[in-house]
Amino acid sequence: LETDFLYSDLSRLNGSMIGQLMDMYEKVEEPQVKEAVRRMLGYFGVACLALEEPLPAGYPAELAKLAEEERDLILDAGGVGVSPLFGYDVDYSLFKARGHYTRSEELGRYFRAMSWYGIMPMPFYNQDKTRDEQSAMGAIVASIALCRAPEEEGIRLWENIYSTTSFFVGDSDDITPCEIAAAVAKVYSDTPDMEKLPEGLDAFYQEVDQLRGPDIVHKVEGEVTQLQMRFMGQRYIPDSEILQELTEPDKRPFPSGLDVLAVFGSPRAEEVLEEFYRPESQWGGYRAAFERLCEKFRSQTIAQQTENLYRGWLYCLKSLTERVGDGYPLFMQSRAWEDKALSTALGSWSELRHDTILYGKQSATECGGNEPPEILGYVEPNPEFFNRLLWLTAVTRENLADKGLLNEKLQYKYEQFESMLGFLRDCAVKELGGEDLTAEEHMTILTYGGFLEYLSSSIAEADSWYLVESDTDKNMAVIADVHTSDGAYLEAGVGTAAEMYVAVSQYGRVYLTRGAVFDYYEFVSGERLTDEEWQEQVRQSAPERPPFTGSYMDGTVGEEIPVPAEPYSSGC
């Protein structure tokens, strides 16, 4: 979507904004307004350079110099520095392309330009709570320019980028230009006189003060945290609010992914936090903040928990960490299984953060072989998880199709995946009911790996997994920085798959089954890591795993993996 649709929309939108602002700059005479137009022209000039596009003819030379200085700081991504254009502190390390945005130069450019839109604020107040009228005027000017552009080159493009990414990740945590445009229309009319903008600032501030504030407020000295507009603001994601509220500078500067699962209702996550991390001993206010968050998130309706795909993914993961009772296999009632389930949920959560790192605010091959011997398969008997994932997949397909963003090939793959999820759910239901799976169902499980390889490689436009061009994408290890504290970063990631052995009952006998499980890592790093850097670290010397994994994880490596006396390959 980003490569085929959103990149070109972003380029056109930014060019349109520059065109409108250059026209304003030539015509406006009122000094305060002209300065606001100048700053906004510089703002969109930086995005132009981040996309590696030339500034248009007639672009003011002094602004071009400032935009180039900003561009250099963005490319360097060195850490906190003063913005040449706006004069306030900016954490330029956030512009380091990471996640899947390292896969091509085009995605890297898209990442930096969209990061500029999402990170740079237009605050309405200074930190001492006095008005920042110059910045407020910039927000007004940007919203007017957006509305004045031809609809197909302005507001329609903005809405397409915003609504598509909101469907995946959620709404902006900060005020959007559309909200400012509504306030401008109420105060100044639908066709405001640019020369008279300063005269209406008192009334404009009365309107702004009624707008929503952010839910995720960073606890960083010197950072702009007051009410503000961002042109394409980073999105509110519930886990970031949880991580934010459960940290305190100098006392508990780094949270854990376990905080998120505990707030969502995982009893084992709460026990692990108390057993190994003891957050209350670090910060006396932890318990009160934790209980306040539990009250907020555990009372949410299913509709609230699934209002976008990001939350829907989290909703799927919650079903992995619910404590099971009688009626479930004995292995699922064990402490080791609960800890494995935590690691699985955290591993998938780290992939979610990896895939949305730009937007979230911080934080077949054919299967052929000989006639198989008696090979039995088994599906983790958690039908609720497969049911939720089936729902999430269907919602994704339907919404992308409604937006015209789904071609026939991809729709077919969605439908195939939905069929497989329905199969896995049905197997899980049968196992919980004490029914044995049929020979046909065992054969489907046997070829399941080949089916997933086909889906993965074909989406990557390769005939087989070995033909996927990116070495990074052939490796499942991915990483995401989810929290920042004083120049250090909490990283959450998955390594390569670990072998899992489970004793299950089928046909009146107990079988030892083998499968794959996430290998989850969580640690503090001195730099924001890319997938390439993380994969090299995993190869050379992986960090220690979280302590709770010791209940089910044997850390030895290099041992011979046990195999059947007569091993069988499905050809997958």
Question: How many residues does the structure list for the chain?
Answer: 572
DSSP string, 497-519: PEEEEEEEEETTEEEEEEEEE--
Helix (H) or strand (E) holding 317: helix 309-318
Cα 91 from chain centre? 19
- The separation between CA 463 and the C-alpha centre of its own chain, rounded to angstroms, equals 29
For residue 264, the SS3 value is: helix
DSSP calls for 455-485: HHHHHTT-SSGGG-S-HHHHS--EEEEEEEE
Q: How far apart are CA 110 and CA 6, in angstroms?
A: 9
* Nearest CA-CA partner of 517 in 501, 535, 506: 501
Handedness of CA 294, 214, 232, 190 (dihedral sign): positive
Residue type, 429: V
Yes or no: say if 309 and 398 are a contact pair by the CB < 8 Å rule: no
Radius of gyration of the chain (CA): 26
Tell me the pairing of strands 509-517 and 478-485.
unpaired
Walk along the chain (572 residues) and give the pLDDT tens digit of each residue. 888 888 999 999 999 989 999 888 888 888 888 988 999 999 999 999 999 999 988 899 988 999 999 999 999 888 888 888 888 888 888 888 888 888 889 999 999 998 988 888 888 888 777 888 888 888 889 998 988 888 888 888 888 888 888 888 888 888 888 888 888 888 888 888 878 888 888 888 888 888 777 776 665 555 555 788 888 888 888 898 898 889 888 888 888 999 999 999 999 999 999 988 899 998 899 999 999 999 999 999 999 999 888 999 999 999 989 888 888 888 888 898 999 999 999 998 998 888 887 766 553 233 444 444 466 788 999 999 999 999 999 999 998 888 888 888 888 888 889 999 999 999 999 988 888 888 888 888 887 887 887 777 777 665 555 556 667 777 788 999 888 887 888 999 998 888 888 888 877 888 888 888 888 999 999 889 998 999 999 888 889 889 888 888 886 665 566 665 555 555 45
Residue 273 has a pLDDT of 92
- For residue 142, the Cα-to-chain-centroid distance in whole angstroms is 27
C-alpha to C-alpha distance for 442 and 486, rounded to whole angstroms: 52
pLDDT reported for residue 556: 64
SS3 content of the chain, % helix, strand, coil (to 5): 55, 10, 35
Residues 553, 45: Cα–Cα separation, whole Å? 52
Which residues lie below 8 Å from residue 202, measured CB to CB, with a gap of 6+?
none
For 493, the 3-state DSSP assignment is strand
Q: How far is CA 393 from the centre of its chain?
A: 17
DSSP structure class, residue 127: T
| Tokens describing residue 378 | 């088994």
Q: Which two tokens stand for residue 66?
A: 């400032």
Structure tokens at 143: 């919203």
